[in-house]
Amino acid sequence: MDALPDLERLSVADKDDLIRALFAQVKALTAQVEALTAKVADLEGRLAKNSRNSSKPPSSDGFKPKPKSQRKAKQKPTGGQKGHVGHTLKKVAEVDHIEPHAPPSHCDVCHRPLSDTAIVETRQVFDIPPLHHEVTEHQVLEARCACGKLHRGAFPAAVAAPVQYGPRIKAAVVHLTHQHMMPVARTGDLTGDLFGLTLSDATVLAINEEARALLAPTVVAMGEALKTAPVAHADETGMRVAGKIHWLHVLATATLTWIGSHVNRGRKAFDAFGILPAFVGTLIHDGWKPYRDLACTHGLCNAHHLRELTYVFEEMGQAWAKRLIDLLVEACHEVAAAGGPLPEHRITHYRSAHARILAEGEADNPRAPPSGKRGGTKQSKALNLIDRLRVHADDVWRFMTDHNVPFSNNTAEQAVRMPKVKQKISGGFRTPSGLETFCTIRSYLATLHKQGANLFHALTLTFQGNPPQPRFA
């Protein structure tokens, strides 16, 4: 309506039509305002999300949020605790070199010669010897018998080319690229600086491919062992390969880490790997639906729940979320103090409090009426979280009833952390084969690191044809 009509010239019927038109316009504008308000709230909510109150990775945080601890006042403080025994550099009994520092040959007062000396103080300097590569030449000798037959020596099986690199330099290359996440070019430069042996990018890649071939059978055996683990942790993350997203999948326990890559994120990848469909233990995960569809027992990561509840409390101002945070943290501490499952009456206490708090949250978040459109009616983030926590309450609280089940999925999240560091440093992988090589080698190194092995020594033995095997049980 461009201008207000002359009401005095309008008939009663015209005025009635005008009022109905105005009411219809107000109704339409009100609906539009409500829709835009909801959209603004959703967009503001997205902007407010960070690694502390959602599942977004820390690398996505722009202006870093001020860290907040879940610890309450007067609880265990951060840093070293009282009574903690520190570790520092200490002297050793057997040294490699001795440099004596004698006093002057004559006394500076009476000028008599000084002959009898004794050690009054020692200081030790820990360092590494000068580094440089060494070259070993293998020579095949021959001799002719008096009968005329010619006898000739043989090269060792590992010496297969006129010129080649040895197992220790290969071990150093793999250690740098897959344990310390060095880029290929910088790895070649670093071996030149440290050992006087600069390697080309192609050589570094070829060494990694050789390691992949040697370690692949061990990693396959690790995957088979995980099928029978009582508890395993699963997670997945996107990795850039030739400008496209591939998916890195992780399955881990306290002693084993298996990593694989696939173009798909969900069930197709699970079926291709063949591990999760055969898993019959308890799977700890973040609640993603393809995990829920697996025929095994489930445990949900409460670290994810704490982050989502933090968002509901801090950004949406709903007090029930803070009460549920406190309840989960209290139960976690009680389970840790008990060293195992809680008694039945304590389990009942926490489950009852959990149900009451969720009822309060549902009262604060009225359910939207059916929209009449296909599919489910869109609900608020808070209500979706409440529904998930109620429907899967057994999985939320499984850490309280099964001593093998932890409070969070940190074991899997730690396994995907270093691959993300690799991507952040190098920018991604050029080929799917390069990502598969990374997954194989990283699975082996992460597992041996958990089991306390010397990774450089293990890689050296690997290139000598005898890779140390991890404990599979």
CB contact at 8 A, 79 and 71: no
CB contact at 8 A, 233 and 253: yes
C-alpha torsion sign, points 37, 38, 43, 46: positive
Instruction: Determine the Cα–Cα distance for residues 436 and 433; give it in Å rounded to an integer.
Output: 5
pLDDT at position 44 is 72
DSSP for residue 469: P
Collapsing DSSP states into helix, strand and coil, what is residue 202?
Answer: helix
List the chain pLDDT tens, one digit each, 473 residues: 567 777 777 787 877 788 888 888 888 888 888 888 878 877 776 676 666 666 656 655 555 555 565 566 666 666 677 777 777 899 999 999 999 999 999 999 999 999 888 999 999 999 988 889 999 999 999 999 999 999 999 999 999 999 999 999 999 999 999 999 999 999 999 999 999 999 999 999 999 999 999 999 999 999 999 999 999 999 999 999 998 999 999 999 999 999 999 999 999 999 999 999 999 999 999 999 999 999 999 999 999 999 999 999 988 889 999 999 999 999 999 999 999 899 999 999 999 999 999 999 999 998 888 877 777 788 888 999 999 999 999 999 999 999 999 999 999 999 999 999 999 998 889 999 999 999 999 999 999 999 999 999 999 999 999 999 999 98
Q: 84 Cβ partners below 8 Å, 6+ apart?
A: none
Beta strands across the sheet bearing 282-285 = 257-262, 244-252, 231-241, 282-285, 297-300
pLDDT at position 213 is 97
Collapsing DSSP states into helix, strand and coil, what is residue 380?
Answer: coil
Collapsing DSSP states into helix, strand and coil, what is residue 262?
Answer: strand
pLDDT at position 55 is 64
pLDDT at position 217 is 97
Q: In the chain, what is the greatest distance between 2 CA atoms, to the nearest angstrom?
A: 138
pLDDT at position 449 is 97
Q: 103 Cβ partners below 8 Å, 6+ apart?
A: 114, 117
**Phi-psi map region of 165: left, alpha, beta (phi>0 left; psi -120 to 50 alpha):** beta
pTM: 0.81
Q: What single string gives the DSSP state of each residue in 242-286?
A: TTEEEEEEEEE-SS-EEEEEES-SSHHHHHHHTSGGG--SEEEE-
- Count CB-CB contacts under 10 A for residue 382: 21
CB contact at 8 A, 282 and 298: yes
Instruction: Determine the Cα–Cα distance for residues 298 and 286; give it in Å rounded to an integer.
Output: 10
Instruction: Determine the Cα–Cα distance for residues 202 and 184; give it in Å rounded to an integer.
Output: 9
pLDDT at position 360 is 95
For the CA atoms of 192, 197, 198, 203, what is the dihedral angle to 10 degrees? Answer: -140
pLDDT at position 87 is 79
Distances in whole angstroms, Cα of residue 63 to Cα of each of 49, 58, 316, 406, 467: 12, 11, 20, 32, 45
CB contact at 8 A, 402 and 282: yes
In which residue are the tokens 């990775």 written?
Answer: 57
pLDDT at position 37 is 83
Query: 429 — phi, psi (to 5°)?
Result: -115, 150
Q: What angle do CA 437, 243, 190 make, to 5 degrees?
A: 50
Q: Give the rounded distance of the alpha carbon of 120 from its chain centre.
A: 52
pLDDT at position 48 is 66
Instruction: Determine the Cα–Cα distance for residues 271 and 282; give it in Å rounded to an integer.
Output: 18
In 365-397, which ranges are continuous DSSP H helix? 381-391, 393-396
- Count CB-CB contacts under 10 A for residue 438: 24
